[in-house]
Amino acid sequence: MAGGAFAPTSGKGKEYPGKFTGRVLLTCIFAATGDLIFGYDLGISGGVTSMDVFLKKFFPDVYKRESSVKPSDDQYCKFDSQILTLFTSSLYLSALVSSIFASMATRKYGRRPTMMTSGLLFAAGAIVNGLAMNVPMLIIGRLLLGFGIGCANQSVPIYLSEVAPYKYRGALNMTFQLFITIGILIANFLNFAFAKWIEGEMAWRLNLGGVIVPGLIIFIGSCLLPDTPNSEIERGNYDRAKEQLLKLRKVDNVDEEFNDLVEASEKAKLVQHAWLNIFERKYRPQLFFAFCIPMFQQLTGMNVIVFYAPILFKTIGFGSNASLFSSLITGIVNMLATFVSISTVDKFGRKKLFLYGGLQMLVSQIVITIAIAMKFGLSGNPGVISNGYAYTVVVFICVYVAAFAWSWGPLGWLVPSEIFPLEVRSTAQSITVSVNMIITFVIAQIFTAMLCHLKFGLFICFAVCVIVMSIVIYKLLPETKGVPIEEMTTVWRNHPHWSKYFYEDDAKFETNKSIVIGILLSLFLVFILRLA
């Protein structure tokens, strides 16, 4: 689920008794379903928008332009259409809006009602998209799916992290990303299989309508499962909370954990304005990364591949099936490489993976740029494309995807979730999700225009971003490997750059700086939205 479970702590480093019960397993399956849908929606639109039957029906102008372009013509602009990209991007805009409302609903009404709503929205979006007769229906369907993703992104990770015994929470955090990649892979596979084996419109209708199955699983599942102990406590139902906790942990005595949950809830209630508090000077170092990490994750350019690999492959001369097949290969690489991260993140640490992944992405982006520049130049006219050329491009795109999958992919969610203290963690999570969604929206919306105008320079633009982000990580991010979450503040206090935020005179900074930063961030968001 947007990978973003924030991992609450055991509380003061204690060990609570508790087993990995059947109930916990069921919840994990849920979270996985939410993630699969997120991944599926990420991966499905690129395949569908590269299908001729789909383009003919909804975007006849793009189809005409694409099919009339001869191999000897400029290839860069054949898919350039803002309406076509709106089909992909609209989902992320509505996900952004709904995750803000869902965060309030999750607190006020509990996690379950928000999860049920997400299931219903997924099912509704799938029906509207599967039966779509015109572009507005397509966009409305995507918007509904986006609303569902916003609700699920907010509620499922919280539900999961509150239900799972604390010692499994770290591992679960990383499996979020794994399930996103599995969702993308399923989408890539169905894009390829349906286009190859199913005739006519049915191929894309099944692709888009298929989300109804996981949507209903989430809906029915959340009708059957109870709410979390934390949510019951938050709403004053102490007896029910204890009963739930006993059932979840399957042990005779849960008093210690229960009392800590009550204490944490009381403390959280004292934090009246988390949205203002988070701008206090002492959270500034972490806040910087809550913005930068999701923004940088998207500026790696990975979603150009996830959303538009089939279009990219078609642009560089592959046939329809070869494009979808090559995208399927990138999907497999993306999923497999995620295991590397899962198994090494606690051994090598976050920084090393960020930096190594960045370097590998940079090298492959440069090679891909040279390959496209040599063949297509500025005119966009490739002449004859040899097999060797096609293989080289696919191999280097896979090298790039693997680098993302073992670095910025999972770490882009893990690191922001573990650097904040409990009292502002949920708010920080909303910021991370929102920034991620905004930049995802922007990239999805402007990709075909970027390709048309920047030509082979497309990946150079992302390569420059990778250099900047690697420098920021190297200089400013402290290593958080093996640091208990409740002691996380010490790594910031001891960092040469950030220590001043803890030791200098607070009064000097507090008032004006918060306001200035607030204004700057708002201006930045307005700027990004205007760009879109």
Does residue 143 sit in helix, strand or coil? helix
Binding of residue 210 to ligand BGC (CB under 6 A): no
Residue type, 414: L
Question: How far apart are CB 42 and ligand BGC at their closest, in Å?
Answer: 5
Judged by CB under 6 A, which of 3, 146, 148, 382 binds ligand BGC?
3
DSSP string for 301-326: -HHHHHHHHHHHHHHTT--HHHHHHH
Number of residues that bind ligand BGC (CB under 6 A): 16
Q: Report the SS3 class of residue 467.
A: helix
Chain residues 502-521 in contact with ligand BGC, contact rule CB under 6 A: none
Does 177 participate in binding ligand BGC (rule CB under 6 A)?
Answer: yes
Q: Could you say whether residue 191 binds ligand BGC (CB under 6 A)?
A: no
What b/e sequence results for 459-477 when a residue is b if at least 16 CB atoms lie within 10 Å of its CB, and e otherwise? bbebbebbeebbebbeeeb
Place of tokens 């990580």: 473
Q: Which is nearer to ligand BGC, 130 or 409 (CB)?
A: 409
- Amino acid at site 518: G
**Any contact of residue 409 with ligand BGC (CB under 6 A)?**
yes
Q: Is 412 in the site for ligand BGC (CB under 6 A)?
A: yes
Site for ligand BGC in 222-241 (CB under 6 A): none
The CB-of-413 to ligand BGC minimum distance in angstroms stands at 6
* Residue at shortest CB range from ligand BGC: 306
* Contact between 397 and ligand BGC per CB under 6 A: no
Stretch that binds ligand BGC, among 188-196, 206-214, 298-306, 354-362 (CB under 6 A): 298-306
124 vs 444, which CB is nearer to ligand BGC? 444
Query: Which residues, 6 or more positions from 350, have their beta carbon under 8 angstroms from its beta carbon?
Result: 411, 414, 415, 477, 479, 480, 481
Who's near 110: CB < 8 A, 6+ residues apart? 227, 228, 231, 232, 235
Q: How far is the CB of 269 from ligand BGC (least distance, A)?
A: 32
Least distance to ligand BGC from the beta carbon of 264, Å? Answer: 28
Q: Decide if 239 contacts 86 (C-beta within 8 A).
A: no
Distance, CA of 197 to CA of 238 (rounded, Å): 55
How far is residue 153's CA from residue 179's CA, in Å, rounded to a whole number?
13
- CA separation for the pair 93, 84 (Å, rounded): 15
Q: What is the CA radius of gyration of the chain?
A: 23
Site stretch for ligand BGC (CB under 6 A), options 75-83, 265-273, 367-375, 406-414: 406-414
Stretch that binds ligand BGC, among 177-185, 235-243, 454-462, 522-530 (CB under 6 A): 177-185
Q: How far is CA 129 from the centre of its chain?
A: 22
The torsion angles phi and psi of 226, rounded to 5 degrees, stand at -80, 170
Which positions from 354 to 373 touch ligand BGC by CB under 6 A, shown as an x/- string?
--------------------
Q: Does 353 bind ligand BGC (CB under 6 A)?
A: no
Determine how many CB atoms are found less than 10 A away from the CB of residue 527: 10
Interaction residues for ligand BGC, span 18-77 (CB under 6 A): 42
User: Which candidate, 297, 532, 277, places its Cα nearest to that of 409?
Assistant: 297
Q: Which is nearer to ligand BGC, 76 or 404 (CB)?
A: 404
Using CB under 6 A, pick the residue from 149, 295, 306, 397 that binds ligand BGC: 306
Alpha-helical (H) ranges within 198-317 are: 202-209, 212-224, 229-234, 238-249, 255-270, 274-277, 284-299, 302-315
- Binding piece for ligand BGC, criterion CB under 6 A, among 133-141, 178-186, 379-387, 523-531: 178-186
Q: How far apart are the first and last CA of the chain?
A: 25
Task: State which residue, 228 or 432, has the beta carbon closest to ligand BGC.
Answer: 432
Residue 278 DSSP SS3: coil
Place of tokens 């934390």: 230
**Which stretch, 62-70, 277-285, 407-415, 480-488, contacts ligand BGC (CB under 6 A)?**
407-415
Cβ proximity to ligand BGC, 303 vs 445, nearer residue: 303
Exposed e or buried b per residue across 215-236, where buried means at least 16 C-beta atoms within 10 angstroms of its C-beta: bbbbbebbeebbbbbbbbbbbe
Residues 418-457 that bind ligand BGC (CB under 6 A): 436, 440
**Cβ proximity to ligand BGC, 334 vs 430, nearer residue:** 334
Chain residues 310-339 in contact with ligand BGC, contact rule CB under 6 A? 334
**Which of 93, 180, 203, 485 is the binder for ligand BGC (CB under 6 A)?**
180
The nearest distance, CB 154 to ligand BGC, in angstroms, is: 15
**Candidates 245-253, 302-310, 312-320, 453-461; binding stretch for ligand BGC (CB under 6 A):** 302-310
Residue numbers at the binding site for ligand BGC (CB under 6 A): 3, 42, 177, 180-181, 184, 297, 302-303, 306, 334, 409, 412-413, 436, 440
